[in-house]
């Protein structure tokens, strides 16, 4: 099989796409009035660190991989970097995370998840080629905005500046502020905070919560003691990223990037924006706790 030559910026051919591998950037905030959720990278901090390595716009799109299992063949020399808990390999040699790496035509790139965090990101100097919807390259298949990668896809660079970037491994190592061993998350009181019974409010902070397997880019479900839900039906109201709503079964749901823009359940709390990336990296089965913003 010959490498496609119709695009001079084709960088990789996907051998194995893995699960939910899609381009994500800073998303499209500010469109909720149209019913369009913000979308964007689940771990925004990782994207920002990668783009700092390349001295490019902080929210330039990177490939977001769930449980990183991407396997691809390099079609043209380029400089890449990845971030996440997964281990990357070039031709089966381990490569360090969060450093620029020169990869040559014909090299094989693959990743292996280690299970500590959900999402791994692959960036290239100059960014990746991909269509934009409402100013963002973030894919959201349910909303008709692109699709996830499939085997055989070609990954292309956004521009030709890949050749002007420094080649070789950068010595710059940026430290993550999101220590994964920290399993406590700061929250604000939600708009219906006072409508919850006092014992439920206390329980929300005292109890450990388990992130459910039934979690996705739209929201993470939590399992724990059942909270009492306020009586009376709430008229649908807009939501913010990180709203924690409690449906009738008393088990909270944290609304995330691809979630509905309005919700009809009482919200007990709202995640602190600075803790969102670390929260969204927490795999199902993680035991977490909440603390009130002081």
Partner 1 sequence: MIDSSSDRLSTHAIRYGRDAWLVEFATEADDESFASAAMIRRQLEQNPPPHLREAIFAYTRVLLEFEPEQCPPLAPEFFLTERQNDSARIKIIDVCYDGEDLQRVARHRGLTVDEVIEKHSAALYRVHFLGFAPGFPYLSGLPACLHTPRLDSPRTRIAAGSVGIGGGQTGIYPLPTAGGWNIIGRISVPLFDPSAPLDSCTLLQAGDELKFRAVPSFS
Would you mind telling me the total number of residues written for the chain in this entry? 294
Interface with partner 1, residue 42, by CB under 8 A: no
**The pair of three-digit structure tokens given for residue 98, joined into one six-digit string:** 């969060």
Site residues (CB under 8 A) for partner 1, limited to 230-249: 235-240, 242-243
Of 3, 19, 30, 172, the one binding partner 1 by CB under 8 A = 30
Among 6, 8, 144, 294, the residue binding partner 1 under the rule CB under 8 A is 144
Nearest C-alpha neighbor of 128 from the set 12, 269, 276, 286? 12
Provide the minimum distance between the beta carbon of 38 and partner 1 in the complex, in angstroms, as a whole number.
Answer: 10
Among 262, 285, 287, 291, binds partner 1 (CB under 8 A): 262
Between CA 33 and CA 240, with CA 138 as vertex, the angle to 5 degrees is 40
| 227/249 Cα distance (integer angstroms) | 8
C-alpha dist (Å) from residue 236 to 195, 221, 239, 247: 16, 20, 9, 13
Neighbours of 163 (CB within 10 A): 14
Least Å distance, CB 120 to partner 1, is 25
Q: Which of 13, 15, 16, 32 binds partner 1 (CB under 8 A)?
A: 32
- Asked if 58 is part of the footprint of partner 1 (rule: CB under 8 A), the reply reads no
Asked if residue 155 lies in contact with residue 64, where contact means CB atoms within 8 angstroms, the answer is no
Shortest distance, CB of residue 185 to partner 1, whole angstroms?
13
CB of 54 to partner 1, least distance (A): 23
Which tokens sit at 93?
């040699």
Task: Specify the residue, 39 or 127, whose C-beta has the smaller distance to partner 1.
Answer: 39
Name the residue nearer to partner 1 (CB basis): 100 or 192: 192
In this chain, which of 1, 6, 8, 34 binds partner 1, going by CB under 8 A?
Answer: 34
In this structure, are residues 288 and 211 in contact, taking their beta carbons and an 8 Å threshold?
A: yes
Size, binding site for partner 1 by CB under 8 A: 34
Helices (H), the chain: 44-53, 198-206, 276-280
Q: Among 52-60, 92-100, 138-146, 171-179, which window interacts with partner 1 (CB under 8 A)?
A: 138-146
Site string for partner 1, 145-174 (x = CB under 8 A): x-----------------------------
Which helix (H) or strand (E) segment holds residue 103: the answer is strand 101-103
Strand 62-66 relative to strand 19-24, pairing = antiparallel
Sequence-ordered list of residues with C-beta below 8 angstroms from that of 2, at least 6 positions apart, any chain = none
Residue among 99 and 267 whose Cβ is closer to partner 1 = 267
3-state helix, strand, coil in the chain (%, to 5): 15, 35, 55
Residues 71-90 that bind partner 1 (CB under 8 A): none
Q: Give whichever of 154 and 218 is closer to partner 1, judged by the CB atom.
A: 218
Pick one of 13, 29, 87, 148: the residue that binds partner 1 (CB under 8 A). 29
Q: Identify which of residues 7 and 236 has a Cβ nearer to partner 1 in the complex.
A: 236
Burial 82-110 (b: 16+ CB within 10 A, else e): bbbbbbbbbeeeebebbbbbebeeebebb
Site for partner 1 in 190-219 (CB under 8 A): 190-191
Interacting residue ranges for partner 1, rule: CB under 8 A: 29-36, 133-134, 142-145, 188-191, 235-240, 242-243, 260-262, 270-273, 293
């Amino acid at each position: 099989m010959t490498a496609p030559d119709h695009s001079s910026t084709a960088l990789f051919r996907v051998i194995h796409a893995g699960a939910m591998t899609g381009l994500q950037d800073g998303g499209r905030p500010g469109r909720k009035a149209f019913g369009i959720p913000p979308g964007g990278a689940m771990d925004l901090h990782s994207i920002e660190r990668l783009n700092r390595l390349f001295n490019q716009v902080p929210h330039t799109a990177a490939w977001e991989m769930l449980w990183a299992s991407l396997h691809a063949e390099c079609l043209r020399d380029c400089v890449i970097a990845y971030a996440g808990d997964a281990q990357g390999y070039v031709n089966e040699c381990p490569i360090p995370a969060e450093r620029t790496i020169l990869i040559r035509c014909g090299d094989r790139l693959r990743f292996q998840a280690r299970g500590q965090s959900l999402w791994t990101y692959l960036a290239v100097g100059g960014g990746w080629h991909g269509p934009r919807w409402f100013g963002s390259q973030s894919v959201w298949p349910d909303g008709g905005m692109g699709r996830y990668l499939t085997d055989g896809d070609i990954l292309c660079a956004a521009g030709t500046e890949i050749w002007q970037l420094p080649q070789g491994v950068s010595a710059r190592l940026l430290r993550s502020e999101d220590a994964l061993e920290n399993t406590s998350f700061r929250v604000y009181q939600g708009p219906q905070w006072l409508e919850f019974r006092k014992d439920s409010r206390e329980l929300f902070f005292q109890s450990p919560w388990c992130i459910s397997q039934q979690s996705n880019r739209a929201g993470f479900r939590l399992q724990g003691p059942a909270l009492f839900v306020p009586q009376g039906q709430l008229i649908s109201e807009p939501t913010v990223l990180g709203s924690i709503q409690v449906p009738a079964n008393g088990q909270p749901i944290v609304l995330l990037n691809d979630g509905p823009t309005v919700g009809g359940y009482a919200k007990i709390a709202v995640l602190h924006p600075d803790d969102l990336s670390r929260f969204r990296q927490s795999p199902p089965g993680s035991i977490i706790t909440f603390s009130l913003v002081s």
